[in-house]
Amino acid sequence: MNIVFLGLPGTGKGTQAEELAGELRIPHIATGDIFRQAISQGTDLGKKAKKFLDSGELVPDEVTCGMVKERLMQEDAASGFILDGFPRTLPQAEALDRIMDELNRELEKIVFFSAPEEVLVMRLAGRRVCSECGTTYHIEHNPPSQEGICDKCGGKLIQREDDREETVVRRLQVNRDKTQQLVNYYEKQGKLTTIDADRSLEEVKIQLKEAVASP
């Protein structure tokens, strides 16, 4: 199944995608994760992307679209994927439609994670991620069993560079109108399912399962 997760920063896309992708046995493709990995490895892509991630701005479409196309052409994505954090602009959505045409495939579900911005600010402020395996936690809503340590791999938990308050505000500002444009775009195509992301992790997961199972 070819799925897209849309939603503002902190709505829970990454957390839910990780689990659902495991269950459906399809890759979780998160553009933010690809950029962060490239930055930590110091590749050309990482050098191009760094200043945008650090400041909460969007990486230019021409860099992002090519990268996603390459990723979707890899073999493990042939049986489906969850795209998390892409598309984020109308030109990206149009590019994705073209990529799918070229690959003779179709997007089946666009899931929009909806939640008020006050909630998102709290979620991002309390987010911690594993410096080794990338697993995401929240100091209150989803804490590790031992403070500061990843349950899965024992790695050290850190705060994402762009989760500092000023950058969070900027990220919400940058994405607000663009996300709404994408909601309108996919609504017109009749592909959009909106879920209430301002619920517990478990409740969001249930809504997501229903969204994916519905015809």
The partner in contact with residue 88, picked from ligand AP5, Mg ion, Zn ion, none with C-beta cut-offs of 5 to 8 angstroms by kind, is: ligand AP5
Q: Could you say which of Mg ion, ligand AP5, Zn ion, none residue 56 binds, taking C-beta under 5 to 8 angstroms by partner kind? A: ligand AP5
Selected binder of ligand AP5 within 6, 157, 171, 179 (CB under 6 A): 171
| CA–CA distances in Å: residue 173 to residues 12, 30, 177, 179 | 18, 20, 8, 10
CA gap 164, 173 in Å, rounded: 14
Provide Rg for the chain, Cα atoms. Answer: 16
Is residue 7 at the binding interface for Mg ion, with CB under 5 A as the rule? Answer: no
| Interaction of residue 1 with ligand AP5, rule CB under 6 A | no
The nearest distance, CB 143 to Zn ion, in angstroms, is 14
Please state, in angstroms and rounded to a whole number, the distance separating the CA atoms of residues 43 and 49: 10
Cβ atoms of residues 57 and 171 within 8 Å: no
150 binds, among Zn ion, ligand AP5, Mg ion, none (CB under 5 to 8 A by kind): Zn ion
Q: Which does 200 bind (CB under 5 to 8 A by kind): Mg ion, Zn ion, ligand AP5, none?
A: ligand AP5
Instruction: Give 192's strand partners.
Output: 110
Residue from 2, 35, 72, 185 binding ligand AP5 (CB under 6 A): 35
Any residues with CB less than 8 A from the CB of 16 and at least 6 apart, and which? 5, 113, 201, 204, 205, 208
Catalog residues that contact ligand AP5 under the rule CB under 6 A.
Answer: 7, 9-15, 30-32, 35, 52-53, 56-59, 64, 85-86, 88, 92, 123-124, 126-127, 136-138, 141-142, 162, 171, 199-201, 204
